[in-house]
Structure 1
Amino acid sequence: MTEMVEELLKPQEEEWLCNSNEALTIWFFEPSTDPDQEFDSAQVYPMFTYSIFGDKEQIYGYKNLEITLKFSSGSFATYFDVRYSDKIPDVSSTSIADNVIDKVKTLIPNDYITNFDTFLQTVNENAYSFKPMGEKITEYRLEEGKDIIYEIYRATFNTPRFKEYHKRFQILVLFYIEAGTYIEEDEKWETMLLFERKRIGDKYIYSLVGFCTMYNYYFYNREECVNNNIDRTNNKVPVSERVNEGKVIPEDIRLRISQFLIFPHVQGKGHGSKLYQTIYKYVLSNSRIKELAVEIPNDSFEVIRDKNDLLYLREQKAFEGLAAPVDKKTIDSLRRKYKLNKRQLLRCLEIELLRKLNKSDAAAYKAYRLQVKERLYNWNKEILKDIDRDERIEKLEETFKSLVEEYQDILLKYN
């Protein structure tokens, strides 16, 4: 009887469900450069909302639900609104509508705006007074002759105005970075901020269009670890604790990219490459930074990273004259010089060796295959050691062929 009742109720329950990715819209507003209109706006939808509304990304209890977040593109003043045509009556504990307002407002600053006219007034006022914070690193143009310049600034949580500003734009991490979470206000965080600067009349306005958060870890080389009995994996412990433990505190740093985002309405224009190039140049110019790493790169970031690392290393002739097998001493020297972590350096090396490889030379191809397979085995040793020899050989061969196909696809784009 209970099962029958549940089946009868199921269609009624579903009419009160909606997809949270579709119900929520995000807008970016700024004064227009067109004299015939007051504001320019861009509308986008989130890719992810599970961290707010649950793994199924569903909201229960409303019909025609519309959740709206609007941001002033520069200052990130926030407008928040929730509307619906009907809400399920709270007749029992099993049919209570999700509290959408509470779920969202805990993630945005307390001074969010609920009146749209007030928001537009704030957009207009803030646009001409807002200025980027932090140290300006570089600037670039996408099109010569256009009066639009992009500027990149470096900030930390000690930078004036940045702490509050970060609270305003960090919600985009939840919407566009898979498994993204808010970061703690730790002094070891650095953020690169990408701003668009455009002229309206005789004034300039700034709009945030992307950012990258990076964390400074201690960098221990292998010799220091052995001599001082240091666990290299425990490189986030505060300096004071390491001193108390009687261990050597290194001056050197491993900079790790954590969150990298170009806002959806400006993607596909080359901003990702420009931001990554700026970060890499910053790493190369800083004598304390010994290595650039990435937390958990997604596919789209891997494309940016591979492209720019390959083109830079090729420009520097980093792999000129090399052929498989490349010895460990050479690899270590390249890692130190170009400050890439081992996995990324070897990946770029393998792609370039494949580009120059004469596939009709059986001995050269075998040497290349063995070098790549050795790296694959060492990377997956814990998994492969429990597999019998024949299956291990088969899996390595499958992985090698798949990797070569991936490398060939990359070379088709950047040969």
Structure 2
Amino acid sequence: MFCNRLLILLLSQKDDNTVPYLYLFLGPCFSYCTRCYTMQGASIKQHEIAFGYKGLQIQLFYTAGNLSTLFKVKYSSKVTEAFDCVEPDDVEGKIREIIPSGFTSNADDFTSLLEKEANFKPFGTLLHSYTVHNEEAGEFTYQIHKAEITCPGFREYHERLQTFLMWFIETASFIDADDDRWDFFLIFEKYNKDGETLYATVGYMTVYNYYVYPDKTRPRVSQMLILPPFQGEGHGAQLLEAVHRFYCSLPKVQDITAEDPSENYVKLRDFVLVKLCQNLPSFAEDKLPQGFSADMVQEAQDKLKINKKHARRVYEILRLRATDMSDEKQAREYRLEVKKRLFGPYRKNQRELAKMKKCLRPEELVSHMGQMDTQTQHEELEKSYQDVVEGYRRIIERIATHA
């Protein structure tokens, strides 16, 4: 029994009503915990306490492939109406609002679902395969698939998959999967167990295709999640690069963007785009000291569907890599090149101040001028520059390790 892999989520609240913790396991049973996370879902947030229970534990078991779900709530005791006429929080109801119907609360039924995991196969079309080496466990094989909502069984699978967003991304929300402009990209681990080939869900991405006049589309990354047991192994970069290459092959795609990207996503995108651009002729090392050029913009757009803003960041990272920062002249030229871009918002503030002088009363003008003090602007600009360069150096180091 339990011969296949499970994804096990346990929300455990201590008896003293301290912050609940969400534990994520990956294993054949309750064998080990890969990482521990505080709950940051939409319904039970990081510092939200469930009232009225002692020894409360919420258990969610997912089969690793099809994500068939076992849901259980356990506690040693809970308050009754006799306790100041107050009812305990409806914890089970909150979780039921998130997980789709079709789950089971019976362990025997879940065992039967586990036995069917050998029949699970990844949805959609295979885009890319790759391996990851682990010094202790050896080689692991992974596959990236593109799926359609019309794939048999995928709609129900996606409903189960997207529940992970609620457990691990605080501002997450579900999408309207019935809109045919959505594309779905999935990562699976392919592994063998007792002579059978099985698949485990690793992560996924959703992309919405916006219309661009007159006959183009602009794919926009909406959601991206690598499940915690697989984080830190490079799967995010593999997924983003595979998705980027897929859209590059479509003539009607204008460029590829992201919806409200997080800081971590921007770092990931920088890494992937630098990898893709570093061999383009316009980004050759001898061209970089000449500055950001129209040729770079055009080639990045035509060959890789990268817009001007993202191409500029790629240029700055590659130029930093090619610059001897111990050489005072080269370092100064690079610093001025980056600060010229960063100065844009401050230049806008100066234009706004000029307009204010014409319409504000003296006491109001003094207030706004204090906010735009020139010395403060220079200090903020220098800090922004140092932060940018520090981030760029991390990208360059990561590129070097993957060379």
- In structure 2, the residue corresponding to 1:399 is in which secondary structure? helix
Name whichever of 395-404 and 91-100 sits farther off. Answer: 91-100
Q: Which amino acid aligns with 1:212?
A: M
Tell me the CA shift for residue 252 of structure 1.
1.6
Offset of residue 100 of structure 1: 0.4
In structure 1, what is the equivalent of residue 307 of structure 2? 341
How large is the RMSD of aligned CA atoms in angstroms? 3.1
- Are positions 1:205 and 2:205 aligned together? no
Percent identity for Structure 1 against Structure 2: 28
Deviation by residue 1:163-200 (Cα, 9 ceiling, x = unmatched):
11110111101122241211122211111111122233
Aligned length: 363
Instruction: Tell me the TM-score normalized by structure 1.
Output: 0.77
> Structure 1, residues 120-160: CA drift from partner, whole Å, max 9, x if none?
221112x1222222122122222499785322111132333
Q: Give secondary structure in 2 for the equivalent of 1:53.
A: coil
TM-score w.r.t. the length of structure 2 is 0.79
Consecutive unaligned residues in structure 2, runs of 5 or more? 1-13, 354-371
Q: 2:277 aligns with which of 309, 313, 338?
A: 313
Partner SS, residue 137 of structure 1: strand
Match of 1:329 in 2: 294
Distance in 1 separating the partners of 2:195 and 2:15? 53
CA distance in 2, matches of 1:170, 1:45: 20
- In structure 2, the residue matched to 1:129 is 119
Q: Distance in 1 between matches of 2:375 and 2:111?
A: 68
Shift of 1:356: 1.6
Deviation at 1:17, TM superposition (A): 2.8
Q: Which segment drifts farther, 383-392 or 149-158? A: 383-392
Q: Quick one: which amino acid aligns to residue 397 of structure 1? A: E
Correspondences of 1:253-402 after superposition (within 5 Å)? 253-316=217-280, 318-320=282-284, 321-324=286-289, 326-336=291-301, 337-359=303-325, 362-378=328-344, 385-386=352-353, 387-402=372-387
* Contact 2:38–2:46, Cα closer than 8 Å, also in 1: no
Comparing 356-365 with 291-300, which one deviates more in the overlay? 356-365
The residue correspondences of 1:159-170 to structure 2 (distance < 5 A) are 159-170=151-162
Distance 1:409 1:41 in 2: 32
- Aligned partner (choices 46, 63, 78) of residue 87 of structure 1: 78
The secondary structure found in structure 1 opposite 2:306 is coil
The whole-number CA distance in structure 2 between the counterparts of 1:309 and 1:94 is 60
Q: 1:158 aligns with which of 129, 133, 150?
A: 150
Residues in 2 aligned to 1:162 and 1:76: alpha-carbon distance in whole angstroms: 11
Question: Residue 212 of structure 1 contacts residue 260 of structure 1 at CA under 8 Å; is this kept in 2?
Answer: yes
Structure 2 counterpart of 1:194: 187
Give the unaligned 5+ runs of structure 1: 1-13, 33-37, 220-248
The aligned counterpart of 2:19 is: 19
Name the CA distance, whole Å, in 1 between partners of 2:187 and 2:276: 21
1:317-362 deviations in Å (ceiling 9; x for gaps): 5521223562552342143133223333222211111222244555
Shift of 1:98: 1.1
The structural deviation recorded for 1:15 is 6.0
User: Any residues of structure 2 matched to 1:27-66 within 5 Å, and which?
Assistant: 27=25, 45-54=36-45, 56-66=47-57
Match of 1:59, SS state, is: coil
**2:98 counterpart letter in structure 1:** L
Kept in 1: contact 2:297–2:311 (CA 8 A) = no
State the shift of 1:400 in Å: 1.5
SS of residue paired to 1:56:
coil
